[in-house]
Amino acid sequence: MSMIVDAVLHPADLPFLAQRGLAEAVCVVFDVLRATSSMVTALEYGVAEIIPAASIEEAFVLRTQYPHALLGGERHGDKIGGFDLGNSPMEYRNHVGATVIATTTNGTIALKACEGAATVLVGAVVNISALVRAIETLHPKRLLAICSGTGAGIALEDAWAAGALVEHFQEHSLSDEARMALALRKAYAEPSQALRSSKNGTALLKKNRGADIDWCEVPDRLQTVGILSQGSVGKWEKPQLT
């Protein structure tokens, strides 16, 4: 069965997702540096669930509902005052069984924008093959790669990851945006080239956070896919045949 493969490259397009056939789509949200990379890392290392919040204020309100949860996230790349964790994947590897309430500049907003989709998956470079396997299991009519962006603009690393996903499904019907992402993927042969030359990558290097890029740039480092369900992100499990 042919699938429509589409991409949202700019965060300004997030409010218009309903026009992309969202209800029958599998959305894959990318915020490679660093929100979705951190979420996938957290889940693989045993975090039970991640609750995305659109704002710092919403995160603190959610904390009253989940008093034992950890607060994690960033603004302008730095840990938020009063939070337990920042936005480095390294910080999320030692919290087995925890609930994390997360808010980031772009990634959690993109996740919440996709809540009307049939399925919302959390993607990054580090789990690209696991994403492909999940999508092949789900057999969607539409695949929509969502790039969270940086502030009000495009994020090179997100568009590269979207292109890497599109590359696996290029025999299907591609939108112009999907073709653009694929072209970008081909322009940068290795993810490290895209991540380290991007605005976010350059900012992280200037803050001596190169270790975060080292983690986020390795394809298939992780085998976990996150799935957004009923307001929280958990570990996607392949359905068992009966």
- Is the link from the previous residue into 34 a cis peptide, with omega within 30 of 0? yes
Residue 219 lies in a domain: yes
Summarised one tens digit per residue, pLDDT across range 35-68 is 999 999 999 999 999 999 999 999 999 999 999 9
Q: Residue for token digits 């994390």?
A: 100
**Residue 35's CATH number:** 3.90.1560.10
Residue 217 lies in a domain: yes
What pLDDT was estimated at residue 242?
45
Residue 48 lies in a domain: yes
pLDDT at 241 over 80: no
Of 1 and 26, the structure prediction assigns the larger pLDDT to: 26
Residue 14 lies in a domain: yes
Residue 232 lies in a domain: no
pLDDT at 29 over 50: yes
What is the average per-residue pLDDT within 75-104?
97
Strands 70-75 and 49-52: unpaired
**Distance set, CA 160 to CA 75, 80, 172 (Å):** 23, 28, 19
Cα–Cα–Cα angle for 126, 28, 216, rounded to 5 degrees: 20
Q: What are phi and psi of 174, to 5 degrees?
A: -100, 135
The count of domains in the chain is 1
What pLDDT was estimated at residue 5?
98
Task: List, as own/partner pairs, every contact residues 187-193 make where C-beta atoms lie below 8 angstroms and the sequence separation is at least 24, other chains included.
Answer: 188/160, 191/125, 191/157, 191/160, 191/161, 191/164, 191/217, 191/218, 191/219, 192/217
Residue 242 lies in a domain: no
Q: Which domain holds residue 76?
A: 4-227
Tally of helices (H runs) and strands (E runs) in the chain: 9, 11
Residue 13 lies in a domain: yes
